[in-house]
Amino acid sequence: MPDNICDLTISEYLEALACKSATPGGGSASALIAAQGAALFSMVCEFTQPSDESLLKINQICLVTQTKLLRLVQEDIDAFNTVMNWYADKGSYQYEKAIETAITVSLDIMREASTLADTAEYLSKKGNKNLISDVAIGANLLSAGIESAYINVLVNLKTISNDLISRETKEQSRNYLQSSDRLTKTYCSIKDGL
């Protein structure tokens, strides 16, 4: 396997995801599906006649978010591998730090996907109407990325002993889940209008 999971072809990635190995796993898949949502929004921007500079800025945000999410595909793998390196010594400082890093990566996935909730709403109204289904699918993928990353947050919070980090993580997660709800609302609004 290459040093960076993103260097694999789609078929190779899916083969790696399906094999008897802990990585790549659900966390990297969460980041990847969210990156696909960002890419779809970028495509819609490319096919929409810009009425002002805002669409160019939105497209740039989509591209930057896509890049960050792709980076998080690998970061999740690295974080989980570190957790597994210290798994036999669960009570150690190193294990606790590895879990905190894994939580941070999951929160980063949620945060990056959340940044496009406004974009989903904007494109549902002002995007190229011939690509409205791509807006809906993009919103759905971003929401799925947030919700999927949240599962990893919850799993990792079960093993952390730092109450302050646990409380702060839950608070951050709530904010990102609100963005997921907004993305789902956009998806449903488009679906119901078809």
pTM for the complete prediction?
0.95
Task: Tell me the pLDDT tens digit for each residue of 100-130.
Answer: 999 999 999 999 999 999 999 999 999 999 9
Assess whether pLDDT exceeds 80 at residue 2: no
Quickly count: other Cβ atoms within 10 Å of residue 96's Cβ. 17
> What single DSSP character describes residue 52?
S
| Three state DSSP letters for 70-138 | HHHHHHHHHHHHHHHHCHHHCCCHHHHHHHHHHHHHHHHHHHHHHCCHHHHHHHHHHCCHHHHHHHHHH
Q: How many domains does the chain have?
A: 1
Task: Tell me the pLDDT tens digit for each residue of 134-184.
Answer: 999 999 999 999 999 999 999 999 988 888 999 999 999 999 999 999 999
* Rounded CA separation 186/163 (Å): 35
The CATH code of the domain that includes 89 is: 1.20.120.680
* Full domain range(s) for residue 11: 5-15+24-192
Assess whether pLDDT exceeds 80 at residue 51: no
